[in-house]
Structure 1
Amino acid sequence: MIHEILLSNQFIFVVALLLITSVIVTKFSTRLGVPSLVLFIFVGMLTGSDGLNIFYFDNASVAQLIGVIALVIILFEGGLNTEWKTIKPILPSALSLATIGVIVTALVLAVAAKFILDITWLQGLLIGSIVGSTDAAAVFAVLKDKNIKGNLKSTLEAESGSNDPMAMFLTLSVIQLMTQEQSGVVSLIWTFFWQMGIGLLFGLIVGKLGSFSLNRINLDSGGLYLLYALAFAFLAYSVTSLVDASGLLAVYITALIIGNSDLAYRHSIMRFNEGFSWMAQIIMFLILGLFVFPSQLFQWQYVFNGLLISAILIFIARPAAVFFILMKSQYNVKEKCFLSWAGLRGAVPIVLAIFPMLADVKDSQVMFNMVFFVVLTSTLVQGSTITYLAAKLGLEGEAREKPAHSLELISMGKTNSEMIEYDVTEKNIINGKSLEELAFPDSALVNAIIRDGEVVTPNGQTVIKEDDVLYILVSRKHKKQLISALKAEA
């Protein structure tokens, strides 16, 4: 018994060191211009059986489970931070890239894999399907805080958040064709519409239910709202998956609805999910790194073939999909080139590459090694050059300096009060008025004003100016009335 307790303590100690190392790695990745997820994978590979031999891990089922759970958390965080008004104008283009674009990419890669690897057409199509989609974890992580032109950043985020269901559908369909002869084209078409349609429907239902419930329920501690919000992500995925529909699509739609709702404890929920998403990414990529055996991966045939397929993916397959889908869109040639280059691959293809192993598909380990190498090189080359390419093509967005300020609230418990943060614009009717002139509800109290990065202590004679950030404490029953007064225009 004492031996087992000692082993458990040693395991916890090593996990703590891995997490600390991985967090520190993110700091160096920014300076080196390398996506942090690549470094997480290297940390996992270093500590695995082919490295320092601290951990031995080869359980495909556990790796797949951890990967899916992490993807739910990452997609939910990405959807919460996606503003509907920014993706609405580009939604047709993003959805086209997320569906038809994935198919085009998969077909081009299938042809390449067939002749480069000397495999069957179905095996080639399986590899193409696995790496056919861009990756939400990679795109959200690499583009976060990057100064990229707004419509391009929104297109990439919307595409990566919504194309995982298509990649999973194609992957599972090809595996079904390889393992069950009775599967037919009509059956696959019906499965596609069922998965996407039900995924969309359940995402809408759970999203509406979540936003309504979060605003109506009165919990004893503000911290419980954070867990309550995340629970709806897992509810959306599990309920949808139980009826053989797209759980990942349901999660993203749920997050979009909740994130764009008038939400109680919004900032706390956002910050919690951002941190939890980082932890999910770290754990997922560490596990995937442990799952890889470098002595098998970095063999000459894998390196050479992987580089060939990566080059075809980066320079032929992805550009072909982007230029074909967006040939009649509002994007110019430079923007299409950037969208082609920024189609990052990451965790999703690696997680999908585990599915053939679980289904006992022939040569599944070879496919996994190939997919892993393709993803690694694609992410390393493209992810580290996105900002440079945007600058060279003149596609950087307008620089916006935000004042460095924060206001943390202690849990309000059962007070039914909320702190509202509001940015004053030139058109607001409150612009230029003193606080005592404002038609705010009686329960509303302006606690602080942030002006030019400094905190202004308000009083009745304090005049509100453009670009001020107001922090207002208000009871929930008067919240809508306050927001209406804030948004009124002169």
Structure 2
Amino acid sequence: MISGAFNVDYFILLIAMLLIAGVLTTKFSARMGVPALVLFIIVGMVAGSDGLGFIYFDNAKYAQLIGVFALVIILFEGGLQTKWKTVKPVIIPSLSLATLGVILTTTIVALAAKLILDVSMLEAFLFGAIVGSTDAAAVFAVLKGQNIKERMGATLEAESGTNDPMAVFLTLAFIELILAPEPSYLGFIGNFFWQMGFGLLLGLLLGKFASYSINKINLDSSGLYPVFAMAFALLTYSAAALMGASGLLAVYVAALIIGNSELTYRHSIFRFNEGFAWMMQILMFIILGLLVFPGQLFQFDIILKGLLISFVLILVARPVAVFLSTIGMDFDTKEKVFLSWAGLRGAVPIVLATFPMLAGIPNSQLFFNVVFFVVLTSTLVQGSTITMLAAKLKLMGPKKVSPPHSLELVSIGKANAEIIEVEVEDNAKIIGQSLADIKFPENTLINAIIRSGILVTPSGDTVIREKDFLYILTSRKSKKKLEEFLKEKKVDSEDDDGSEQLKMKM
């Protein structure tokens, strides 16, 4: 009894220490110019049996389980934060990179792996598939808060959110080709369209259903809404996966739908999932760091092979895939160079590298070690220089300003009202008008205005300006009407004399 309790307490203590170490590394990563996920991996390697020896972990099955669960949460959070209006213009090139780009990368890396690793052609293609996709966790983590041009950031985020299913499909397909005595190639084609098509459809349906359910249900505690939303993410993945479709694609699509819908307790849902995604990212990379043994990884043979394949992946395969996948898609050379360099590898290749290990594929341990080294090289070299390259290529946008946190009532279920946050958009009809002159829908009240980071106490004489953040108390019944009212635009001065008066007040 005492021994069992001690083991449980020791395990909880280790989790606490690993999370604390992971959180603290995010502080140092910005100062050191190194992506946080690299430091997470290092924490795991140091704490492992080849390091300080705190934890012995070599279970690829558990690592895969934790990795997939974490990827679901990370993709869900990334989809929630993605604005459809920024993704829509780049959806075609993003999907082209996520499909054709992955296939081209897989093929080029496979040809290199055949020569460098001295494996069979099918095994070489398996290796290429494992490292063929960019990683959502790595891309979201590196781009978060950076002022890279919106179009570039949207393309990378949409690509990384949608190309994991292609990498998973190709990895499982090549494992089956290696193991199956008589594989069905036509079956693979049909399976591909089923996985992508049904995964997309299920994501759309469950995303709509989740948004509807979150807004219609009245819960007594505001803390239950984020849990409710996260439960739909897990439901979406499992439902798609159990039906043989792509669970990761379904989750990302559902998150896009939910994140771009009007939600009750929207900010609570977003903040909870942001924190939970960070926690899962920390645990996932630390666990993956524990799974590797530095004594096996940092051998001359692995280092040499890893460096050669990294060279081919970063400087040959990815650029070729980007330039060919975006032909005729209105990207100039500078933008294509940036997209080529920003194709980060991260958790997904490492998680996929556990699949051959569990399937008993020959050379699976070699694949895992080389993949791990490739990921370290990619995140360390590319991840730490993305912002610098964007600045060099003049692809930096205006500095991003994080809006203030919104205020929400304790319980919508009891109060049937909430305080919403609205940023005054360009050319909004209310710009230049005083609060006394604006005819807001009934049951609404301006509580506060944040202007350039400064609190402005509202009064009847207060004039609304562009980029103001308005905090408005409204009833649930009036919320939709209020949002539509705030989206109204000014009419041209030539057609409406009233707009001239608005301009004069400004």
After superposition, where does 1:309-348 map in structure 2 within 5 Å? 309-348=309-348
What stretches of structure 1 move > 6 A for 4+ residues in a row? Answer: none
Please, which moves more after superposition, 166-175 or 441-450?
A: 441-450
Q: Which residue of 2 aligns with 1:266?
A: 266
After superposition, where does 1:98-109 map in structure 2 within 5 Å? 98-109=98-109
Question: Secondary structure, in 3 states, of the residue corresponding to 2:89?
Answer: coil
2:134 equivalent to 1:134: yes
Question: Secondary structure, in 3 states, of the residue corresponding to 2:418?
Answer: strand
Name structure 2 gaps, 5 residues minimum: 491-506
Q: CA deviation at 1:7?
A: 2.2
Q: Which residue of 2 aligns with 1:8?
A: 8
2: CA distance, partners of 1:302 / 1:173: 26
Q: Which residue of 2 aligns with 1:203?
A: 203
Q: Which residue of 1 aligns with 2:410?
A: 411
Q: Which residue of 1 aligns with 2:76?
A: 76
Given that 1:349 and 1:375 are in contact with CA atoms closer than 8 Å, whether structure 2 keeps it comes out as yes
After superposition, where does 1:145-156 map in structure 2 within 5 Å? 145-156=145-156
Q: CA deviation at 1:429?
A: 1.7
Q: CA deviation at 1:438?
A: 2.2
Q: Which residue of 2 aligns with 1:256?
A: 256
Q: CA deviation at 1:431?
A: 1.5
Name structure 1 gaps, 5 residues minimum: none
Q: CA deviation at 1:413?
A: 4.3
Please, which moves more after superposition, 5-14 or 457-466?
A: 457-466
Q: CA deviation at 1:206?
A: 0.4
Q: CA deviation at 1:400?
A: 4.5
Given that 1:322 and 1:340 are in contact with CA atoms closer than 8 Å, whether structure 2 keeps it comes out as yes
Given that 1:439 and 1:485 are in contact with CA atoms closer than 8 Å, whether structure 2 keeps it comes out as no
Q: CA deviation at 1:452?
A: 2.3
After superposition, where does 1:198-237 map in structure 2 within 5 Å? 198-237=198-237
Q: CA deviation at 1:447?
A: 0.9
Q: Which residue of 1 aligns with 2:125?
A: 125
Q: Which residue of 1 aligns with 2:447?
A: 447
Q: Which residue of 2 aligns with 1:468?
A: 468
Question: Secondary structure, in 3 states, of the residue corresponding to 2:367?
Answer: helix
Question: Secondary structure, in 3 states, of the residue corresponding to 1:329?
Answer: coil
Given that 1:203 and 1:252 are in contact with CA atoms closer than 8 Å, whether structure 2 keeps it comes out as yes
Q: Which residue of 1 aligns with 2:361?
A: 361
After superposition, where does 1:40-119 map in structure 2 within 5 Å? 40-119=40-119
Q: Which residue of 1 aligns with 2:503?
A: none
Q: CA deviation at 1:410?
A: 4.8
Go from structure 1 to structure 2 and tell me whether the alpha carbon gap of 1:179 and 1:448 turns closer, same or farther (over 3 Å shift).
same
Please, which moves more after superposition, 77-86 or 458-467?
A: 458-467
Task: State the TM-score, normalizing by the size of structure 2.
Answer: 0.95
Please, which moves more after superposition, 347-356 or 430-439?
A: 430-439
Q: CA deviation at 1:15?
A: 1.7
AA partner of residue 100 (structure 1): L
Q: Deviations over 1:433-472 (max 9, x none)?
A: 2223222222111111112211122233322222211001
Q: CA deviation at 1:391?
A: 1.0
Given that 2:409 and 2:418 are in contact with CA atoms closer than 8 Å, whether structure 1 keeps it comes out as no
1: CA distance, partners of 2:167 / 2:425: 42
After superposition, where does 1:279-294 map in structure 2 within 5 Å? 279-294=279-294
Please, which moves more after superposition, 126-135 or 173-182?
A: 173-182
Q: Deviations over 1:387-419 (max 9, x none)?
A: 11111111111234456x434435224212122
Q: Which residue of 1 aligns with 2:176?
A: 176
Q: CA deviation at 1:118?
A: 0.8
AA partner of residue 254 (structure 2): T
Q: CA deviation at 1:21?
A: 1.1
Go from structure 1 to structure 2 and tell me whether the alpha carbon gap of 1:402 and 1:62 turns closer, same or farther (over 3 Å shift).
closer
Given that 1:223 and 1:411 are in contact with CA atoms closer than 8 Å, whether structure 2 keeps it comes out as no
After superposition, where does 1:374-389 map in structure 2 within 5 Å? 374-389=374-389
Question: Secondary structure, in 3 states, of the residue corresponding to 2:327?
Answer: coil
2: CA distance, partners of 1:146 / 1:21: 24
1: CA distance, partners of 2:461 / 2:394: 46
Q: Which residue of 1 aligns with 2:429?
A: 429
Given that 2:406 and 2:420 are in contact with CA atoms closer than 8 Å, whether structure 1 keeps it comes out as no
Go from structure 1 to structure 2 and tell me whether the alpha carbon gap of 1:244 and 1:400 turns closer, same or farther (over 3 Å shift).
closer
Q: Deviations over 1:121-169 (max 9, x none)?
A: 0110000000000000000000111111111111000000000000000
AA partner of residue 344 (structure 1): L
Task: State the TM-score, normalizing by the size of structure 1.
Answer: 0.98
Given that 1:334 and 1:393 are in contact with CA atoms closer than 8 Å, whether structure 2 keeps it comes out as yes
Question: Secondary structure, in 3 states, of the residue corresponding to 2:447?
Answer: strand
Q: Deviations over 1:167-199 (max 9, x none)?
A: 000000000111112322111100100000110
Q: CA deviation at 1:5?
A: 1.0
AA partner of residue 44 (structure 2): G
Question: Secondary structure, in 3 states, of the residue corresponding to 2:53?
Answer: coil
1: CA distance, partners of 2:34 / 2:297: 21
Given that 2:406 and 2:421 are in contact with CA atoms closer than 8 Å, whether structure 1 keeps it comes out as no
AA partner of residue 278 (structure 1): W
Question: Secondary structure, in 3 states, of the residue corresponding to 1:353?
Answer: helix
Q: Deviations over 1:315-369 (max 9, x none)?
A: 0000010011112221111111110000000000000000011111112111111
AA partner of residue 352 (structure 1): L
Q: CA deviation at 1:58?
A: 1.0
Q: Deviations over 1:42-79 (max 9, x none)?
A: 10000001111111111111111000000000000000
2: CA distance, partners of 1:436 / 1:86: 35
AA partner of residue 410 (structure 2): S
Q: Which residue of 1 aligns with 2:37?
A: 37
AA partner of residue 406 (structure 1): H
Q: CA RMSD in A?
A: 1.2
